[in-house]
Amino acid sequence: MSKLHHSRVPAYLDFTQSLTGLLLALFIVGHIIFEGSILLGPDAMEKMTLFFEGYYLFGERHPIIVTFLAIVISILFVVHAALAVRKIPSTWQQYRTFRNHMRRFGHEDTSLWMVQVVTGFAMFFLGSVHIYMMMVNPEKIGPYLSAQRVVEGWMWPLYLVLLFCVVLHAFIGLYRLALKWGWFEGKNYRRSRKIMKRIMRAAIAVYILIGLASLGTYVSIGLNLENTPVEKAER
Stretch that binds ligand HEM, among 66-74, 100-108, 109-117, 194-202 (CB under 6 A): 66-74
The residue range among 7-15, 54-62, 108-116, 145-153 that interacts with ligand HEM, by the rule CB under 6 A, is 145-153
Complex with ligand HEM: residue 155 or 200, whichever CB lies closer? 155
Give the binding range for ligand HEM (CB under 6 A) out of 81-89, 128-136, 192-200, 224-232. 128-136
Which one of residues 123, 172, 221, 233 is an interface residue with ligand HEM (CB under 6 A)?
Answer: 123
25 belongs to the binding site for ligand HEM (CB under 6 A): no
Q: Which is nearer to ligand HEM, 200 or 215 (CB)?
A: 215
Rounded distance between C-alpha atoms, residue 79 and residue 21, angstroms: 9
155 binds ligand HEM (CB under 6 A): yes
Tell me how far apart the alpha carbons of residues 168 and 46 are, in angstroms, rounded to a whole number. 28
CA distance 31 to 26: 9
- How far out from the chain centre does Cα 153 lie? 21
Query: What's the rounded Cα separation, in Å, for the pair 195 and 184?
Result: 10
Confirm or reject binding of residue 70 to ligand HEM (CB under 6 A).
yes
Note whether 44 binds ligand HEM by CB under 6 A.
Answer: no
3-class secondary structure per residue, 165-229: HHHHHHHHHHHHHHHHHCCCCCCCHHHHHHHHHHHHHHHHHHHHHHHHHHHHHHHHHHHCHHHCC
Count of residues engaged in binding ligand HEM, rule: CB under 6 A: 23
**DSSP states of 30-69:** HHHHHHGGGGG-HHHHHHHHHHHTTHHHHSS--THHHHHH
Question: Is 150 a binder of ligand HEM (CB under 6 A)?
Answer: yes
Contacts with 212 (C-beta within 8 Å, 6 or more apart), sequence order? 163
- Per CB under 6 A, the list member of 130, 193, 197, 232 interacting with ligand HEM is 130
Nearer to ligand HEM, 98 or 156 (CB): 156
Residues that bind ligand HEM (CB under 6 A): 31, 35, 66, 69-70, 73, 123, 127, 130-131, 134, 141, 146, 149-150, 155, 159, 162-163, 166, 211, 214-215
